[in-house]
Chains A and B, each alone.
Chain A
Amino acid sequence: MSRNAQDDAENDGGIVNRFSDDISGSDDIAGQWSAADATQKAFLNILEDSNEEKGRLGAVQSAVLNILEDFDTERKNVEQANAVLRHEVAERTRAEAALRRANAATAAANKELEAFSYSVAHDLRAPLRSIDGFSQALVEDCADNLPAEGRTYIGHLRESAQHMARLIDGLLSLSRLGRTEISRSRMDLVPIVRAIFARFRREQPGRSVELIVPAEVIAIADVRMMEVLFENLLENAWKFTSKRPHARIEFGQVLRDGHLVCYFRDNGAGFDMEYAGKLFAVFQRLHTTSEFEGTGIGLANVERIVHRHGGRIWGEGEVDRGATFYFTLEEGT
């Protein structure tokens, strides 16, 4: 660009020479000025270019510095993270050791519990069988020496022995439900309810009990535990509707607070909501034995099964207006 400017100046000078020789001296000066000016411009341009280059270099240098600085920060971060990680690994190793110890303790406790319930199952039942059996032998073989009063007492003896056997069985099933592994699969709960209901009906054909169920209720649950759950719920409903000429038992699903909730309803004796908190406690009964026979373990079993599934259970009722049990079988419902 600067060279073009100089050429232009020389060409201009040529034309001026041809037409006016007199002022050729001043012509020369003008040419030199313009050449100098062009050179200066060229220098300035070069300087400007080199300045730009310097600026660029500076930028590169500071970028490199920045990268180095970043690298240093990064290295520090990595070192810090490594330290944290080392600490975490140590912590985890400690925690794992603690967990292993806790697991071993749990396994030992479970083993002991198993031995205990085995002993309960085997050893506590034998004497009861003896009490019941020999009481009856007394009635059969020594009836002549036994007044009516004596026979009544023996009746109480036998009843108590049998009741205790049921309590032992209930406790055993409760401890078994706590111990067995849960294995979930997808199933329809309605056929399970129907099958258990059919069995109850076969055992007591004299009663008028209506079962109301929907087409299907799908759940992902442990099938054996579901059988125990509905066995207990149905036994409960069956028992507490025993004084109704027409009993109604209903199983279904409703939407509560955005969650599908199963319910089990009967039109039986119901209960006072004041005691709703005691419904599921072991050995807790809300009716006297003379009103309704029971062990107080059935609903405890039901609650344990629901809890093993991560669900929730609650009861709603009114005296003489029936009871409804609501439950879920999934975590976080």
Chain B
Amino acid sequence: MTSRIILLVEDNPSDEALTLRAFTKSGIRNEVVVTRDGAEALDYVFCTGAFADRNILDMPAVVLMDLNLPKLSGLEALKRIRDNPATKSLPVVILTSSDEEEDRLKGYEFGANSFVRKPVEFDRFVAAVQQLGLYWLILNEPSPARNGTSLPHET
């Protein structure tokens, strides 16, 4: 069974707190796992390191990936996720402060499903997070080919 876990990859504690607050305010009650750099995010996704005990079949519903991260950048982490057949269709949304064309270009080239710029104004940030949650947690149907098996999922 897939849970509807949200994997948030964010190194800035303030942004993490604001994003969690935005989820709560939007009425999104799903479990949010926070990893603070690209390497930790990959550990979670591939069940390695600190997440070795995690069930690999239990993939997050969506990964919200910041770009500018310590150790392994968001783009590098995304590339590793896409390179692995088990995770190549895992929904990854880039959620970043940047709206530089180069970032958007690379983000999509590396296989991001979406690119969302975090607005400075909190109300707009909440609205953005709400729409993301609505789309990726409720509206979007994940790929059945994921993990090589067709898995039923909660609705």
Contacts and interface: CB of A to CB of B under 8 A. Distances in A.
Given A129-B125, A133-B122, A162-B120, A121 B99 contact: yes
Interface string B90-117: 0000001111110000000000000000
A136 B123 CA distance: 9
A132 to B, nearest CB: 5
Interface string A139-166: 0000000000000000000000110010
A121 B100 contact: yes
Nearest to A128: B120
Nearest to A176: B101
A292 interface: no
B12 to A, nearest CB: 6
Contacts of A134: 14, 18
Contacts of A123: 68, 97
B136 to A, nearest CB: 21
B54 interface: no
B96 A130 contact: no
B141 interface: no
B100 A133 contact: no
A22 to B, nearest CB: 134
A126 B97 CA distance: 7
A133 B98 contact: no
B67 interface: yes
B120 to A, nearest CB: 4
Contacts of A256: none
A129 B100 CA distance: 18
Interface string B1-27: 000000000001011001001000000
A126 B12 contact: yes
A130 B15 contact: yes
Contacts of B15: 126, 129-130
A118 interface: yes
A122 interface: yes
A165 B117 CA distance: 13
Contact of B21 (A117, A133, A161, A176): A133
* Size class of the contact patch on chain B: 20 to 34
Contacts of A128: 120
Contacts of B67: 122
B12 A118 contact: no
A307 interface: no
A127 B118 CA distance: 12
B121 interface: yes
Given A129-B15, A130-B15, A136-B122, A122 B98 contact: yes
Interface in B3-56: 12, 14-15, 18, 21
Contact of B125 (A117, A122, A133, A135): A133
A104 interface: no
B122 A165 contact: no
Contacts of B122: 129, 132-133, 135-137
Given A132-B120, A162-B121, A165-B120, A122 B68 contact: yes
A203 to B, nearest CB: 14
Contact of B98 (A118, A127, A135): A118
A129 B119 CA distance: 7
A132 B15 CA distance: 11
Given A118-B98, A118-B100, A133-B21, A126 B14 contact: yes
A137 B21 contact: yes
Interface of A: 117-118, 121-123, 125-130, 132-137, 161-162, 165, 176
21 contacts: A117-B100, A121-B97, A121-B98, A121-B100, A122-B68, A122-B96, A122-B98, A123-B97, A125-B97, A126-B15, A128-B120, A129-B18, A129-B119, A130-B15, A132-B120, A133-B21, A133-B125, A135-B122, A136-B123, A161-B120, A165-B120
- CB-CB nearest 7 A-B residue pairs: A165-B120, A130-B14, A133-B122, A133-B18, A125-B97, A122-B97, A122-B98
Interface of B: 12, 14-15, 18, 21, 67-68, 96-101, 118-123, 125
